[in-house]
Amino acid sequence: MVHRPRTHDQSPQDHMPPNPPAVQTHAAPGAGIPAGGTTPSADATATPRPSDPATTATWTPESWKSRRVDQAIDYPDAAELDQAVARLAALPPLVTSGEIERLKRLIADAQEGRRFFLQAGDCAETLDDCRSESITNKLKILLQMSMVIVQGLKVPVVRVGRFAGQYAKPRSCPTEARVVDGREVILPSYFGDLVNHASFDEKSRRPDPELLVKAYQHAAITLNFIRSLVDGGFADVHHPEYWDLSFFSHASLSPARRAEYERMRALLSDGLRFMEALGERSVGDLARMEFFTSHEGLNLHWEAAQTRRVPRRAGWYNLTAHMPWIGERTRALDGAHIEYFRGIENPLGIKIGPSARPHELLALLDRLNPRNQAGKIALVTRMGADRIVECLPPLVETVTRAGRRVLWVCDPMHGNGIKTAAGIKTRSFDAILHELEACHDVHRAAGSVLGGVHFELTGEDVTECVGGAAGVTEQHLTQRYSTLCDPRLNYQQSLELAFLLARKMGKEQEPR
């Protein structure tokens, strides 16, 4: 939660350095307490399965080093790496345990349909993105999308940004080959600014441990600016300049779609004016909205360095972000990433692609959430528009039948990447929308709850994804294509998706 430096349940001793002794892995007493209550339910405090190795094996923040590390970074100087990790471990945390526990309670609500989870931001942050304009634009689009969803779904939104730490990215190959001056040159792939630099030369692509510390510093600056913005009233949704949707008037929309957008915009404006007329500037905490941080937990040196015990709380917390997630390429049950993440109290996202099998998914849930705590796990499905109807139903059915408490989140981005004839990576707005709507239909048919969405986007006017009301075509891709990794939705496309999502899910909620 980034709108204030400390909440009533956050201890200043969160800033103490980590306590090194090994511990047995048990969930914190009272973790996952349902919102509005003070006592955990019987399910939340159920006895762990005694046969589960995650509840019996000794865990430490370093025990992952004994496992196979997928997406491993080959640092050439071990001494430099050790020095950088030691410096990170001595620095104050980026977030606090009280904020983390708050997010778990909100996710528990979203699992039951009482809130909606919106996770969005850059594919990969760069250190150069640590600019006031860039940070402000990210917050603005996240805020606008959330208010459109609130209007359509009539439930509060949990806002989780892919920012202040999303500096690492997995790659399909550890090396990259290019032809330079007539000869093939092979260098390490660009793994994000947490690891190396994007420029294609030997010095830039060398993994640099100093970037671990620089990334921490930039994340801290980003968080500090976000907190200042929110405390200064940035998130007060009554500001009329936040709701300039005039670009829809110039978009290539059908008359029916244009009328639908105008109707939703009018409803949103009327609702805000009504609250302002009543003097309810803080209705639903609108004037001081909460924003939480997330990133893919790819580089375990970075994650472990800021993992520590917190006074007056049981268990270990990763204090680099409120909610790290485990990627599709690093969720092997016997791998280093699952070994690390099974030991921390943070809520966790798990990316689930079309290759996942029901029994594998249950094994992951047993390992990462042996007590079946509410608010602990978000399953972020990324199937692809052409695979979701085939691949998602067996997973939903199995998890539901087994009684596992999870938040289902749709990531309609990562399964829909394509390349143009010119070799440019892009994504189709129509495919993204199709997967999003199909995911909702699958959950509705199964009696499950689609509780959230996960988008890669920017608040800027880029041309990286084709389609949508903005009318971006393949010919436009070279105009403003600035991503260093995967293509992102631009400002207009992001807001349009929020409108379409609100329309789809809002209509389904209407009484029949």
Q: Which of 315, 267, 314, 323 is nearest to 295 (CA)?
A: 323
Mean pLDDT for all residues in the chain: 84
The string over 163-197, giving b where at least 16 C-beta atoms fall within 10 Å of a residue's C-beta and e elsewhere, is bbbbbbbbbeeeeeeeeeeeeeeebbbbbbbbbbb
Q: Is the pLDDT of residue 475 over 50?
A: yes
What mean pLDDT is predicted for residues 124-150? 91
Cβ neighbours for 316, distance < 8 A, ≥ 6 positions apart: 23, 61, 307, 308, 309, 343, 344, 345
pLDDT bracket for residue 247 (50, 70, 90): low
What mean pLDDT is predicted for residues 38-44? 30
Query: End-to-end alpha-carbon separation of the chain, Å?
Result: 38
What mean pLDDT is predicted for residues 59-87? 97
Residue 272: its pLDDT value, please?
60
pLDDT bracket for residue 50 (50, 70, 90): very low
Between 461 and 439, the higher pLDDT residue: 439
* 499 and 261 Cβ atoms separated by less than 8 Å: yes
Per-residue pLDDT tens digits for 299-349: 999 999 999 999 999 999 999 999 999 999 999 999 999 999 999 999 999
* 431 and 385 Cβ atoms separated by less than 8 Å: yes
Q: Is the pLDDT of residue 15 over 80?
A: no
Tell me the C-alpha to C-alpha distance, in Å, between residue 455 and each of 186, 312, 436, 495: 32, 36, 11, 11
Residue 246: its pLDDT value, please?
59
What mean pLDDT is predicted for residues 204-232? 95
* 235 and 287 Cβ atoms separated by less than 8 Å: yes
CA distance 509 to 490: 28
Do β-strands 157-162 and 292-296 pair in parallel, antiparallel, or remain unpaired? parallel
Residue 234: its pLDDT value, please?
73
Angle at 272 between CA 266 and CA 274, to 5 degrees: 100
Cβ neighbours for 293, distance < 8 A, ≥ 6 positions apart: 2, 94, 95, 160, 161, 163, 164, 165, 223, 321, 322, 323
pLDDT bracket for residue 56 (50, 70, 90): very low
- φ/ψ of residue 466, rounded to 5: -95, 150
CA distance 382 to 355: 10
Q: Give bridge partners of residue 178 from the DSSP assignment.
A: 185
Q: Is the pLDDT of residue 296 over 90?
A: yes
Q: Look up the pTM and report it.
A: 0.85
DSSP 8-state secondary structure symbol assigned to residue 374: T
Q: Is the pLDDT of residue 470 over 60?
A: yes
Residue 285: its pLDDT value, please?
46
Among 105-114, 137-146, 223-232, 255-264, the minimum mean pLDDT is found in 255-264
What mean pLDDT is predicted for residues 241-269? 64
Q: Is the pLDDT of residue 31 over 70?
A: no
pLDDT bracket for residue 190 (50, 70, 90): very high
Q: What is the DSSP string of 41-62?
A: -TTTTPPPPTT-HHHHSEE-TT
CA distance 64 to 341: 9
CA distance 114 to 333: 31
Residue 238: its pLDDT value, please?
58
* 427 and 467 Cβ atoms separated by less than 8 Å: no
Between 217 and 282, the higher pLDDT residue: 217
Residue 293: its pLDDT value, please?
98
CA 336 to chain centre: 21
CA 233 to chain centre: 24
Residue 203: its pLDDT value, please?
97
Residue 508: its pLDDT value, please?
63
Q: Which of 224, 340, 339 is nearest to 293 (CA)?
A: 224
Residue 261: its pLDDT value, please?
66
Q: Is the pLDDT of residue 43 over 80?
A: no
pLDDT bracket for residue 70 (50, 70, 90): very high
Residue 284: its pLDDT value, please?
42
What mean pLDDT is predicted for residues 483-494? 88
Residue 482: its pLDDT value, please?
76
Per-residue pLDDT tens digits for 235-245: 665 554 555 56
Per-residue pLDDT tens digits for 379-403: 999 999 999 999 999 999 999 999 9
Cβ neighbours for 155, distance < 8 A, ≥ 6 positions apart: 113, 114, 115, 116
- Dihedral angle computed from the Cα positions of residues 222, 227, 229 and 230, in that order, rounded to the nearest 10 degrees: 140
Tell me the C-alpha to C-alpha distance, in Å, between residue 149 and each of 6, 152, 155, 285, 508: 28, 5, 8, 16, 14
Q: Kindly state the tokens that stand for 13.
A: 């001793």
Between 6 and 85, the higher pLDDT residue: 85
Q: Is the pLDDT of residue 34 over 80?
A: no
Per-residue pLDDT tens digits for 444-455: 999 999 999 999
What's 191-241 look like in SS3? CCCCCCCCCCCHHHHCCCCHHHHHHHHHHHHHHHHHHHHHHCCCCCCCCHH
Do β-strands 450-456 and 348-352 pair in parallel, antiparallel, or remain unpaired? unpaired
Look-up: residue for tokens 């955990």?
40
Judge: domain 51-235+289-506, CATH 3.40.50.150: no
Tell me the C-alpha to C-alpha distance, in Å, between residue 502 and each of 159, 288, 453, 506: 15, 23, 12, 5
Q: Give bridge partners of residue 183 from the DSSP assignment.
A: 180
Q: Which of 378, 325, 323 is nearest to 109 (CA)?
A: 378
Q: Which of 368, 373, 370 is nearest to 349 (CA)?
A: 368
What mean pLDDT is predicted for residues 134-151? 90
- Domain spans in the chain, listed from the N-terminal domain onward: 51-235+289-506
CA distance 76 to 79: 9
Q: Is 381 helix (H, G, I), strand (E, B) or coil?
A: strand
CA distance 134 to 266: 28
- Residues above pLDDT 90, as percent of the chain: 64
